[in-house]
Amino acid sequence: MASDESGSSFVAGFVLGGIVGAIVGILLAPKPGSETRADLLIQSETLRGRAEDLAARVREQVGPTVEGVRERVGPAVEGVRERVTPIAERVVANLSGNAPGSVVDDGAGGEASWEESPDSDAGKKV
């Protein structure tokens, strides 16, 4: 993944260097202001077109990869959400004082567990 990041950084630096070089070259050329402004307008339109083409190519190349990652990660995220939501709801209820019971930490770096208080209605038949 580091090589992908350095590759995109290189392309961004290359494009930025080209833009800066073109602007400096145009500004230092011995021309009247109106001609320089016209040249800048033409160059900016050309560079805008190139940037749009480059962005489209990057989207075409990266798009399928992003979709593949979404397809693989989506179910895992949903599974974690299904497991965490009830626990988070219990913790919120416990912190607000509405839950019978408490979260108990074993103190050994293990998992916390739910401990019912003796006066709770959990496990009682109605």
Q: What is the mean pLDDT of residues 53-63?
A: 87
Cα–Cα distance, 22 to 88 (Å, whole number): 56
The amino acid at residue 56 is A
Label residue 126 by pLDDT band (50, 70, 90). very low
**How far is 28 from 36, CA to CA, in rounded Å?**
9
Domain ranges of the chain: 2-100
Cβ–Cβ under 8 Å, residues 94 and 103: yes
User: Is the pLDDT at 90 greater than 50, yes or no?
Assistant: yes
| Average pLDDT over every residue of 86-110 | 70
Residue whose structure tokens are 């480059």: 54
**Does the pLDDT at position 6 exceed 60?**
yes
Per-residue pLDDT at 2: 47
Statement: residue 31 has pLDDT above 50: yes
pLDDT score at 108: 56
Report residue 107's pLDDT band, with 50, 70 and 90 as the boundaries: low
Q: Please report the pLDDT score of residue 83 as a whole number.
A: 92
- Whether the pLDDT of residue 112 is over 80: the answer is no
